[in-house]
Structures are given as C-alpha cells and as structure tokens.
Amino acid sequence: MKCADLLKGIEYKCIKGSTDTDVSDVANDSRRVTKGCLFICIKGANFDGHSAAAGAVRDGAAVLVVSDDVELGENADVTVVKVADTRYAMAFISANFYGNPADSMKIIGVTGTKGKTTTTYLVKYILEKAGYKVGLVGTIETIIGDKTIPASNTTPESLTLQKYFREMKDAGCDVVVMEASSQGFMLHRTQGFIFDYGIFTNIEPDHIGPNEHASFEDYISCKAMLFKQCRVGIVNRDDKHWEQVTKGHTCELETYGFDEKADLRASGLKLVTGAGFLGIDFKVSGLLNMEIETDIPGKFSAYNALTAIAICRHFGVKEDDIKNALAGAKVKGRIEMVKVSDDFTLMIDYAHNAMALESLLTTLREYNPNRLVCLFGCGGNRSKLRRYEMGEVSGRLADLTIITSDNPRFEEPQDIIEDIKTGINKTDGKYVEICDRKEAIRYAIEHGKKGDIIVLAGKGHEDYQEIKGVKYPMDERVLIREILEER
C-alpha cells in the first residue's frame, strides 16, 4: 500500500523522502517494527515514541509519522511525515490501512459513566435474536463471532480497534456495538470513522486525576465529542448534564428517559420478586409502545433496557422480539442472578468501588429483603481509601458483610481485610471475615435465610484471582457449582 493512500483525511507535510513509498504494515510499538512498515511515534504517559524513531529505521521502518523533530542521521533511508498530532493521524492511517471497514457496518457507540457495559450486551443480545450478526468491543472483552479477546482498555487504541473492525467485517458482522470511553475520545481512538448511533447514558464525576481528566468539565467535554462524530445521537434526558453533553452537536438528536418530554418514555416502574430472582417491569411509550419485563433488578436496569430499546428500534426489531429478548437477557457479572435456592436470591456483580457498591446496595434495599448480605474484598496494590470507603458503605447498607479476598496481588490478603474493617468499624454493621473466597461463598450460601438477598461483589465477570503476580483460575460461578455439588 502506498504511504499517500494511508494518509488520506490527514493534514501533513512530507519533510523527507516520498509519500509514494510502499508500506507493508503499520506499527505504533517499536517492538513490533518490521521491514517496510510505517511507524507512528506516539507520546504516551511513560514513553515517547519519538525517542525510538532512529531504532525503528534501523529495524527496517520505511516511513515515520512524527509530530516532533527526530534525529536520524544524514544517510537514513526513510520517509518522514510530520503531522500536528500523531494519535489523531494514527486513527485515520489505521482506518485506511484496514480498508475503512466501519463504512460497511453499522457502528453503535455507547458513552457514559455507568451502564455502558450492560447496554452493549443487551443490544447485542436483542439484535442477534432479530437475526443480525453483531461484534462487540468493551470493558470486559471484544467479541468477533465465536472468538473473544480479553480487554485491556474499554476503547482500544485506534490501530487495534480498526483491526477488530476488519476482522468483524470479514466474519460477516452487520453491526458493531462498542463502549466509547472518555479516554478513547481524548486520545483520538475513535477518529477515522463516523458512528451511526451515539448513545449517552449518564455522567457523574469519575476518571478525574493524573493521566485521566483534569476536571469534571474536561470529562464532560470528552464525552460530548461523540455527538460531533455520529449521525444519530440518543441521549438520556433524565441526566441533568444532557444538554451540556450535546451542546454543539452535529447529529440528529432524540431522547429517552422517565421525563415526560422524552421521545421514548418509561413509566409505571414496578419491582418484581420471585423464587430466587428479582426483576422489574415498566411501560414504554412515545416512539414505541409496549410493556417490558426483565429479570434484572433496579431502576438503573430500567434505564439500561430503555437505552437498548432506543437503539434497537432503529434496526427494525419488532416489539415482541424486543420484549422476548429482554425477558431472558443476562449480562455476565452485572447483577447476574445465580439460582441456588427458592428461599433466597444470590447474585454476582462487578461493583468494586464505593460508588458502585452504594448504588447496588441501595437498589437492592428497595426490594425489602429479610437480610441484605454483601460479600466482598478489595484489590491489592490499590488505594487504601477504596477499602475504607467500601467497608463503610457495606457496613451502613448491608445487614451482614462477609469480608474476604479479591485480587490481593502483592499484598497480604489479611492486611487488606484489616483496612476494610477500619471502614466498617465506623458503622454498626455486623460482619464476619473469611479470607478464602470459596469458603466465604460457602458460608453465605449455607447461612442464607428465606427472603435474603446475597451479593457477591467485586469480581463480576473476572475468572481469575491475582496473587503475587500470577493469575489463578477462579470463577465464582464455578465455585458456587462446586459448593452445591459438595453439599
């Protein structure tokens, strides 16, 4: 492929060599430079790719894309292209290199502080029930047909994202649904293509600090970029920041929510309790009219379902198909019910910080359980403040807390438990401590009482426990099955 073809859509200046140069591959990691490739010098948090430019040339790079001057020596046989921002340029180069696969699929981008993961899985589930083939990119994994790839970033680097798009297109996908993070927008990972549908779920102060966002306003402005990069914007009108997020939008705009002015409205929310499960039902009116029931509890689950409905109606999915899909929808590790008894409800959830845990426990309190039991631990080599806060939240909202181990990493599990107890001791909450997570789950199940709601928090979709740098297999679903078999 010619260098000039890769640079379409970018303002650039060729300061050495010729853009007629043939390019065999594209790399943004100096360890992956191959003969004849185009190497993009990216400035990262800990490493500046410009410092690897000369080494990339020695390793055979045919083209360098830079934003700063680089020292190469007079005899360096390489084409050098200068751009204002190499991350921005990389998005277009990547799209061009992989043949702009997004142009021939429908791309759905979901942004927001909460609800992104659940919404994307609900959309995938509904659309696949309606006959579409759907690729997914998100916090947990990327799904391409039968292949799953564990995620390292919610929104991958543009070079990786475009590679996934190409694989999805080749696998016959009609639609891609992806989580679009604020970091993804800030670092231009989502440039080089247009979202067909951009969705905003909600926003709260989060991801603010070093190497993230300088302020809440900056966080909002990054989320707002979606509505200048999509054809149709679908936003939660109930969020008090929705107008700020959509200010200056260049897309068609529609709204959803419980607000009576929303284009797609939810009303009449009811909490449903059954043998070993919790759920909701509510009415939908406006752009569609139907009644929805789903075995996922809480008002935030109504928002997730309503968001999915708002998206899927654009794909011509019949109302009965939406209803039937949502009635059986499950999202791994997100308020995931695991049936162990008709007497009490057991669920697995990824809540691993105080804000998420408080939201979850407050929601479950609305179902008036006999007891609300919360089992959790905290990860090692992370902020101790999280441990104090989660302990305090569980002590305040749960009737019984079972403190256990999560991913201790390079810390001693008992030391982490002691930090959690510091928080819980600020409350009058009852607790037991059982360091071994399987034994803690066994205790929860064997001591479950009629009408209890038991939450296993923190691990969610994870199927490992990280100890001293090693990830050991540990899936809570497997542990529960083993415990039931052993009984």
Has residue 407 got a pLDDT over 70?
yes
- One of 3.40.1190.10, 1.10.4160.10, 3.40.50.2020, 2.60.40.1260 is the CATH number of 101-328, namely 3.40.1190.10
Per-residue model confidence (pLDDT) at position 75: 83
Per-residue tokens: 92: 């277009």
Of 356 and 137, the one with more pLDDT: 137
Per-residue model confidence (pLDDT) at position 212: 61
Query: Per-residue pLDDT averaged across 429-458, rounded?
Result: 98
Has residue 66 got a pLDDT over 70?
yes
Per-residue model confidence (pLDDT) at position 132: 97
Query: Per-residue pLDDT averaged across 32-37, rounded?
Result: 97
DSSP 191-221: -SS-EEEEEE----S-SBSTTSBSSHHHHHH
Common-topology check for domains 3-97 and 101-328: no
Has residue 205 got a pLDDT over 60?
no
Has residue 207 got a pLDDT over 70?
no
Query: Per-residue pLDDT averaged across 191-207, rounded?
Result: 87
Has residue 7 got a pLDDT over 70?
yes
Query: Per-residue pLDDT averaged across 263-276, rounded?
Result: 94
Looking at CATH, the fold of the domain delimited by 3-97 is given as: 3.40.1390
Q: Residue 215's pLDDT band (boundaries 50, 70, 90)?
A: confident
Query: Per-residue pLDDT averaged across 9-19, rounded?
Result: 97
Please check whether residue 179 is in contact with residue 112, taking contact to mean a CB–CB distance below 8 angstroms.
Answer: no
Per-residue model confidence (pLDDT) at position 121: 96
Domain spanning 336-486, CATH architecture? Alpha-Beta Complex (3.90)
Per-residue tokens: 156: 């991958």
Per-residue model confidence (pLDDT) at position 210: 54
Task: Round to the nearest angstrom and report the end-to-end CA distance of the chain.
Answer: 63
CA dihedral (257, 258, 264, 267) positive or negative: positive
Q: Residue 217's pLDDT band (boundaries 50, 70, 90)?
A: confident
Has residue 458 got a pLDDT over 70?
yes
Query: Per-residue pLDDT averaged across 203-231, rounded?
Result: 77
Per-residue model confidence (pLDDT) at position 209: 54
Has residue 74 got a pLDDT over 80?
no
Flag the least confident range among 71-85, 231-245, 357-371.
71-85
pLDDT in tens, 46-64: 899 999 999 999 999 999 9
Per-residue model confidence (pLDDT) at position 280: 96
Q: pLDDT averaged over the chain?
A: 95
Query: Per-residue pLDDT averaged across 252-266, rounded?
Result: 98
Residue 342 has what DSSP assignment?
S
Q: How many CA atoms lie within 13 A of 54 on its CB side?
A: 8
Has residue 25 got a pLDDT over 80?
yes
Report CA-CA distances (Å) from 7 to 23, 34, 62.
11, 19, 14
pLDDT in tens, 306-337: 999 999 999 999 999 999 999 988 889 999 99
Measured at the CA of 186, the angle between CA 214 and CA 43, to 5 degrees, comes to: 95
Per-residue model confidence (pLDDT) at position 114: 86
Query: Per-residue pLDDT averaged across 200-226, rounded?
Result: 75
Per-residue model confidence (pLDDT) at position 245: 95
Give the separation between CA 166 and CA 81, rounded to whole angstroms. 25
Residue spans per domain, the chain? 3-97, 101-328, 336-486
Per-residue model confidence (pLDDT) at position 211: 58
Q: Residue 183's pLDDT band (boundaries 50, 70, 90)?
A: confident
Give the separation between CA 249 and CA 209, rounded to whole angstroms. 27
- β-pair partners for 143: 136, 148
Give the separation between CA 351 and CA 358, rounded to whole angstroms. 9
